Structure 1
């Protein structure tokens, strides 16, 4: 199964995968129904989750029902238990909306919810993150997760995120990150897709972020909290929800 999923991820373009998943997902959820692991986003339980990864495959990480990964489930738990995201009236901008969240956030009456991306079929506004069609100080909350590693000029993208966030606003900008690496690594000369997947973890990534990612956000003007939310959870919950222990949630604020 791991080999099949790897081939699918690397051969079929992501927009097509998103559309196909709506057909396949109910069958996977039924086939893997059980009680060992639980997706906190919809509360459904399974005997196992699915493998996932463009390069090295991770076992037991993809939820059959919501198609959430470790980072999505961690973010959901954080938003639910540590913020007023689900109750306060907020204007939200969501980049490259994840399937696990899209319909749920769209249906929330307290949110004025806008999605944006260049290619995603789920996006309301087709836009370049480095040249956003929104006015200054427009949004209370910005979700931009696993996007910046795809952007050659991530400094410009961060400046645009800062520009459109309201003073007093906040956001979560998750990225794939190697916390053992002090400095971010990027090399524009690596263009082969297989080599990119091997080095950067995915064929369409342009860098591996190190610990300096947080300081780069601070240089742009954000205040940054490096939140290890798994440290607040029990070992049983980390295992039950299939989370990545020690993963950092970058929570940013604009004064």
Structure 2
């Protein structure tokens, strides 16, 4: 059973898993319901979260109900506790949206929500992040999570995200990051998927970001600082929500 679960979680793309989970959700909840862990995205408690990860797996990483990972739950808690995202009227651009977020955000009456991606069949707009088809200063909030590590010219992508964000706007741009690295590790000569996975943690990534990620964002025009948001919570809450204590939440502002 455990081997079968590991195969599904690591070999079947998460978007497909999420589609499968939507119709199986009642059964999933009955099987995993309990009081050890809490997913703030669906507001349900579980007896366990599932392991997840390419290669070495992280215990209690994947929520059975939403298939959210630690970074998704951290972002949700930030939006819920630190912003008026759920109550104020906003124009929102979401690049390469996570399906569970897309499903929930599209239903929110206070948001004028636009999803965009170059390849996804479920988004509103087919768009290349290097050449976004939107006017300058179109959006109050821009969300772009785990996209930039796929793109060689991330400076151009950041400049496009800056261009379409309104002055006074803000966003969340999560990326795979190693806080132990001062300087981003990237090597565009590495093309083989196996070599990319060995060097960058995933077959289609082209870099591991270091703490200079924030310098790159500032160079694009954003104001930003490293935000270890999960450290706002107690050790008990970090475990309960299934968070990573030292994971950075990159929040950006456009003044």
The TM-score by the shorter chain falls in which range? over 0.9
Partners of 1:181 and 1:162 in 2: CA distance: 25
Q: Which moved more, 1:222-231 or 1:239-248?
A: 222-231
- Residue matched to 2:249: 249
- Residue matched to 1:173: 173
Q: Deviations over 1:65-85 (max 9, x none)?
A: 011110011111111111111
- Residue matched to 1:224: 224
TM-superposed CA distance for 1:18, in Å, is: 4.6
TM-superposed CA distance for 1:10, in Å, is: 5.5
- Residue matched to 2:90: 90
> Does the 8 Å contact 2:142/2:165 carry over to 1?
yes
| Residue 191 (str. 1) matches residue 191 (str. 2) | yes
TM-superposed CA distance for 1:176, in Å, is: 1.0
Partners of 1:42 and 1:18 in 2: CA distance: 13
Q: Deviations over 1:165-197 (max 9, x none)?
A: 011111010111000001111112322223322
- Residue matched to 1:201: 201
Runs of 4 or more consecutive aligned structure 1 residues displaced over 6 Å after TM superposition: none
> Does the 8 Å contact 2:15/2:99 carry over to 1?
no
Partners of 2:7 and 2:204 in 1: CA distance: 15
Partners of 1:26 and 1:55 in 2: CA distance: 30
Partners of 2:201 and 2:172 in 1: CA distance: 21
3-state SS of 1:230 partner: helix
TM-score, normalization by structure 2: 0.93
- Residue matched to 1:116: 116
- Residue matched to 2:141: 141
Q: Which moved more, 1:15-24 or 1:221-230?
A: 15-24
RMSD: 1.8
The aligned length equals: 255
TM-score, normalization by structure 1: 0.93
- Residue matched to 1:235: 235
> Does the 8 Å contact 1:62/1:68 carry over to 2?
yes
TM-superposed CA distance for 1:62, in Å, is: 0.4
Partners of 1:215 and 1:70 in 2: CA distance: 25
3-state SS of 1:245 partner: coil
Say if 1:14 and 1:48 are closer, same or farther in 2 by CA, change over 3 A.
closer
Q: Which moved more, 1:194-203 or 1:87-96?
A: 194-203
Structure 1 segment 69-108 matched on structure 2, within 5 A: 69-108=69-108
Which consecutive unaligned segments of at least 5 residues does structure 2 have? none
